[in-house]
Each structure stands twice: as C-alpha cells, then as structure tokens.
Amino acid sequence: MKFCAPCLFGTEGLVAEELREMGCENVTPENGRVLFEGQTSLIPRANICLRIAERILIVAGQFEAKSFEELFEQVKAIHWSSYLPKNAAFPVKGWSLNSALHSIPDCQKIIKKAIVNSLGKDYGISWFTEDGANYQIRFSILKDEVTVMIDTSGEGLHKRGYRAHSNEAPIKETLAAAMCKIARVRDYHTLYDPFCGSGTILIEGAMLANNIMPGYRRGFVSEQWEQIPTALWQQERTRALDSIKHGSEFHAFGSDIDSAAVELTHSNAAHFGVRKQLTLSTADIKDFVPKTEKGTLITNPPYGERMMDVKAARELYRTMGKLFEPKRGWSYNIISPDEEFEKIYGAKARKRRKLYNGMLKCTYYSYF
C-alpha cells in the first residue's frame, strides 16, 4: 500500500529517516511530504511513533488531470470499496496550486460524486448513510498532478495531548521535535531552553531522550476502521510503553521571563511523566547562567513582528551572542526568521538549516 506523510517544509529528510528506521519501503521525500510504501499494519505504528510528520495518509490514486472529466473518471476508477465500508463517512477536502483545476469547491464535488459512483456500483446502492467510521478524503493538486488520499490520523500528529493550554506563540510540537532531532538530543544530555514558553522544546527533547512515542496516549481516526484489528493498536501501544527508557541521565533546564508560561511548562510536562526531569525558573535571558559543564541549548526566541518588536527581539539576539560562550561540550541552536540574525548575534553559525515555522521561513542556526 502507498502512503503519504505531509510534513513542514525543511523536515522532509528527517521524516524520511524516521520512516526508513520503521522499515517502510520506497521512501521518497518530496516538497512538504514524504511518500512511502508498507502494509496496512504499519498504520498504528506510524501514527503512534512518528515525531515529525503531520499525519499519515493512504494514497488511493495519483494521476494527471486538467479537466473535471479527467478528474471524475480517474477518481471513479479507484477501487473505493476496498478502502471504504458501506456506511463510511467520506467528507472531501484539499488544495490546488499552479493547476488548471483550481476551484476547490468544484474539485470537492467532482471527487465526492466519483466516489459515490464507484461505491454505488460495488455495493449496489445509491444512497449512503455515512453514519459509520470517518474516512476523510484529502486531495492535493500540484501542477495538474492529483493525489487522492485517505486520512488515517484524524487530528494532526502534532497534537500529542500535553498542551491543553499554551502561551502566545507556541512552536508546533513537530517542529520542536525536528529541532531536537537535528541537535541530536540524547539520553545523557542536558537540554536548555531559556525562552521556554509553554515548554514544547523541553518536552519534545525529554520525549526523544527517553524514547517516549508521541502518539501512544492519544487516539486516531483509523482506530474506528474495520480493516485494522483493535489488537494491533493495543500491541503497538504496549510496544511503545515497553520501549520507554527509564532512569536516563537526561535533564532539562527551562526558563522564561513570564511566570505564567513557566507554570504552563510545569503542568504540560506532567502528561508524559517528564516533570521530574525538568528544572524550571522565571528568569530574564540576561541572567542566563549554565548550570552544567556540558549542554545542548535549543531555543525559539521572540521574533518580533512590528518594527518596535523587531528592535526588541534583536536586542535579545545580541544578548544571546554575548552569553552563549562557545566551548567544548556545548551546542547552541536557535531558530529565527531574521536574516540579519548572525550579524546581530555576532558570530557565523557552524550549520544552518531552512525550517518553516508554519508559513514563516526561518533558519535554524547551530553553534558548536
């Protein structure tokens, strides 16, 4: 079976690595997504274990279409009854870019009609109750290349369940996980985030270090599907639980100028049981003092969007440049959309990597 894992721009290589480690075949990174192949039984493992992908979709069909007729005929030709039971709910959504077929509502209607037509023939019915499990159909059309998919995740994979409340500008969990992966957070490391906000980077770092699978405590839409036995989901959750490393040396220090944010980090960390591995405080960056000989600092400082804010944000970059002393055993990893970042920070990064924080193009600067 063919699958697609959409992901944030810049993280395709990391998602491909996760998928290969999981034993997926023909892993092909593209722009903003990774295609791969595997058995249906892979669905629970991929949903529970992937840290950086946004969701897991089954690819039902891929073809070129420049007219509604072509779209209709090719969607109709897909063997839908092999995916969807008689009572399946199958809403359709999607997007189109640089393509002849650009009206989303029209594409939605055509795809829906074609699926109804195909299922109607196979099941011998013309009316669909759609009161069963949800099989969200998602389509993408890029330069006339259509991909029609079925969503196995439901809520995006970034929703791990620990961030019931968040502060003003939280970073997406999947992006924080990518930053921790790039900085090679290990179970014997000490992680620092002096702009911790609601604690996303610290918690993702702790989960990576302790091998805690991000999805084992949440549900997925395909758990309602009849083609995946409940026992398989249970088996994968048990496997995830058994693989957690207990008693690791990992520790994290987090701080923020906002005491409410520190409080949030504290309560969010409880969800995966990593609170004891965090030492938190309310502090201004200007008072940052490392507590250990070695450390991995990963941070998402304020960016500043209006002119005054940009000035204030840059002042923080200057402060960081003075405080983050280059020394053996330390790495400093900072994400920022500011193209002048290195100049203001006062040093050229050893590594730079393009990452998107939502739609915002950023660079992840690594000093080590």
Ligand X SMILES: C[S@@+](CC[C@H](N)C(=O)[O-])C[C@H]1O[C@@H](n2cnc3c(N)ncnc32)[C@H](O)[C@@H]1O
Residues that bind ligand X (CB under 6 A): 166-167, 169-171, 194-195, 197-198, 200-201, 256-258, 261, 284-285, 300-302, 316
Nearer to ligand X, 194 or 215 (CB): 194
Q: How far is the CB of 170 from ligand X (least distance, A)?
A: 4
Residue 206 half-sphere exposure, CB side, CA atoms within 13 Å? 27
Task: At 134, give phi and psi (nearest 5°).
Answer: -85, 125
C-alpha closest to that of 56 among 15, 116, 4: 4
Strand order, beta sheet including 137-142: 25-30, 33-37, 2-6, 57-64, 145-151, 137-142, 92-97
Residue nearest to ligand X (CB): 197
Instruction: Quote the least distance from Cβ 295 to ligand X, whole Å.
Output: 17
* Cα–Cα separations (whole angstroms), residue 367 to 13, 79, 80, 335: 21, 52, 51, 12
CB of 266 to ligand X, least distance (A): 13
Cβ proximity to ligand X: between 42 and 320 the closer is 320
> Residue-wise over 347-364: b if at least 16 C-beta within 10 A, else e?
eebeeebebbbeeeebbb
Question: Which residue, 190 or 299, is less far from ligand X as judged by CB?
Answer: 299
Closer of 241 and 270 to ligand X (Cβ):
270
| Residue 329 beta carbon to ligand X: minimum distance, rounded to whole angstroms | 24
Q: Which is nearer to ligand X, 169 or 360 (CB)?
A: 169
Tell me the closest approach of the beta carbon of residue 10 to ligand X, in angstroms: 17
Residue 213 has a CB neighbour count (10 Å cut-off) of 22
Q: Which is nearer to ligand X, 136 or 200 (CB)?
A: 200
Query: Rounded to the nearest whole angstrom, what is the least distance from the CB of residue 284 to ligand X in the complex?
Result: 4
Task: Give dist(CA 182, CA 46) in Å, integer.
Answer: 20
